[in-house]
Structure 1
Amino acid sequence: MPTRCLPTLLLSLSFLASAQDAPRPPAPAPALGEAECQVWARELGFAQSVADHDAEAFAEHVHPQAAFGAKGPRPTRGREAVVAEWAGIISGEPVEVQWYPTMVTVSGDSGVAYSSGPALYRRRDASGETQLALGAFVSVWVRDVDGAWRVLYDDGIRPVPADAAQAEAFTAGRRIACPRA
């Protein structure tokens, strides 16, 4: 990554540290430009790779030098380690995770982007009942040497128990089309 991107990346990382530990309702739809819509689509594709249980597609979205769990004391570093750690989530066992962006911001040089949005977790308990939880994610994307956007830093906000109405609101809030400027 060019050194001119470093100040923007550091500013983006400050957002990770400031995330609160409780999910918030989605903000009003932003008006995004072309580069931001590319990241929006890439974020949706990243989430779809998990929904499709496609580890290869998931790995394609992760930067080789990625750090997941970025705000924690021991982030998972490197694409292979991230894919291995996410293997259960990608397979849908023991938990299914869905997410989508509600905000994307691209840096001034168009090489670094920040995305965030809600996440829904489904897990079956011992009796077979579905347990729901809502959280949120934050990701920092970089445009890689091949031009593709890849997640460099990723983290989330600890999920809290949710009910069926909240899960329905999550699903209703998903926008596939990028909210263009």
Structure 2
Amino acid sequence: MNKAILSVWKKFQFKHNIKKIRTTIVSYLTDEGIQNEIVEGNIQFTYEDYKYSVEFRLNEEYPCCYIDFQLADEDYQKLDLSQKTFIADKVNTDEIRHAVVKCFNDQVTVDTHFYFTNKDMLLTLFYTYFTDLKSTVDAMLEITIDKIQENEGKKPIGFSIPPKDSKAENAQAI
């Protein structure tokens, strides 16, 4: 076989070989000193005390890499729906970003994805998109912490009179 054709064939094999794709990202993260592990087919790693997940989908014409961050926190869950919507809207419209913030009742997620065809493209785009995701997570956390701190000083509407025991009231009436 011609060496040029063999070289093209090896590159073609990369984009459909999940083991090579995962190994490439795991090696990259390990070389950067970032602890990582493969859990249920996804690469999970911790960067600056936050956990991220990387998933690859090969069922389309080109392989796709999904990177996401999820936060489920009791303080976040106590926020009003309008505050959660504000967080997502503020970050998503504040700047042009690749990453998208999605706020749900019980958690907030930030995710991004990109398509790639070879190892060099995967590594270049992984760095670019992860850097963008990290800056989006930082912006989202800053706004979320501000909203949580706003809520700490608020008291619910109504009187703060302790409830009385209705049995004790009935006994006194008799």
TM-score normalised by the chain length of structure 2: 0.23
- Which has the larger Rg? 2
Higher relative contact order (CA 8 A, sep 6+): 1
Query: Which has the larger helix fraction?
Result: 2
TM-score normalised by the chain length of structure 1: 0.22
Query: Which has the larger strand fraction?
Result: 1
